[in-house]
Chain A
Amino acid sequence: MSEHIPADNPLVLGAFQFDSRLFLGTGKYATYPQMRDALDLSGCECVTVAVRRIPQDEPPGERFLDYLDMDRYTILPNTAGCFDAESALRTARLAREMLDTNLIKLEVLGDQKTLLPEPVDTLHATEVLVKEGFTVLVYTSDDVMQAKRLQEAGATAVMPAGSPIGSGQGILNPLNLRLIIEQAIVPIIVDAGVGQASDVAIAMELGADGVLMNTAVAAAQDPLRMARAVNLACKAGRDSFLAGRMDKRMCAMPSSPEKGVIGAGA
């Protein structure tokens, strides 16, 4: 780090702290080795995983956990796929027992088509898990008031969607995101909707404390190259935010001196 640029603060989530502000999911990669290499290239320090039933009569084969370095990464289990508070709570408790972690990415969905969160159940489940001692990172839409309610309910971080999960539509409502960030008393991590590296940079430039993504990397034509791209975009976006952008102007202003151009009078 250059002596002229002060180092950034780490992102603190409860008892955890991270230098990387990028969170990567572990789903939908073509192979487990590809997942492992994408995680590595993304520079992330925290990865999300899902909790699912053990299938009966599964043929022996490679196992997911053989490719996930649990010593290197902080594991953030999610309640993805839960459509009511009760199943999300049960999933969170199972994850805690499995991983000895209080970290949970709480997702309570309301609709199969859009995978948008169910706000009432999400708030209720947040309250219960906070009471049970979980460090709750809660997925929400970009609703400004709901984000406020969730942080008041004790969420450690609020995770608004840029656009629907897996849609790759990017940050569709930067104004809402900006309003969520401005009223935030907890870290805001944009979760869902990122489609490419520039979306990560935009979220970070808006002042997000982090970005969580999965499909944009896993479903890229070259997932490893995209993993590297989002790593760089996250750092670039963060630096750009911290640097503070110039004011916009209506008209041009020359960058080069106006005086001393050849051929002009003295």
Chain B
Amino acid sequence: MPPVEESHPASGESVRINGKNQPWRPDWTVTDLLKELDAAGPGVAVERNLEVVRRQKFASTVIQPGDTLEVVRLVGGG
């Protein structure tokens, strides 16, 4: 099996982004997060609490304390 990262759910005033706990901030949208990751634009997808966030909803999706997010892009592969 591949190495399994510790997967404690984010709790309290933190969120879990790509497997790493980070402090939560109020009024923090998915669009904000993508800008911080320098990942705005096409070729990016976001999953929030195991559900895909539609692209049209990035700006209106406010990250909540305890959320688990996966932010992915395309890379070379076979």
User: In the complex, are the beta carbons of A53 and B19 less than 8 A apart?
Assistant: yes
Give the residue among A48, A49, A53 with the most B Cβ atoms within 10 A.
A53
Minimum C-beta distance from A218 to chain B (A): 8
Tell me how many residues of A have a C-beta within 8 Å of chain B.
Answer: 41
User: In the complex, are the beta carbons of A80 and B77 less than 8 A apart?
Assistant: yes
Which residues on A sit within 8 Å (CB–CB) of B43? Answer: 65, 98
A56-B20, A83-B1, A98-B43 given; A90·B74 CB < 8 A: no
Whether A50 is near chain B, meaning CB under 8 Å from some CB there, is yes
User: In the complex, are the beta carbons of A97 and B55 less than 8 A apart?
Assistant: yes
Whether A95 is near chain B, meaning CB under 8 Å from some CB there, is yes
- Against A, the Cβ 8 Å flags (1 = close, 0 = not) of B49-76 are 0101111000000000000001111111
Residues of A within 8 A of B (CB): 25-29, 35, 48-54, 56, 58, 60, 64-65, 68, 75, 77-78, 80-81, 83, 90-91, 93-99, 112, 165-166, 212-215
Residues of B within 8 A of A (CB): 1-2, 17-20, 37-39, 42-47, 50, 52-55, 70-78
17 contacts between A and B (CB under 8 A): A25-B78, A27-B76, A27-B77, A35-B76, A50-B78, A53-B70, A54-B44, A56-B17, A64-B74, A77-B74, A78-B77, A94-B45, A97-B53, A98-B43, A112-B2, A166-B78, A214-B77
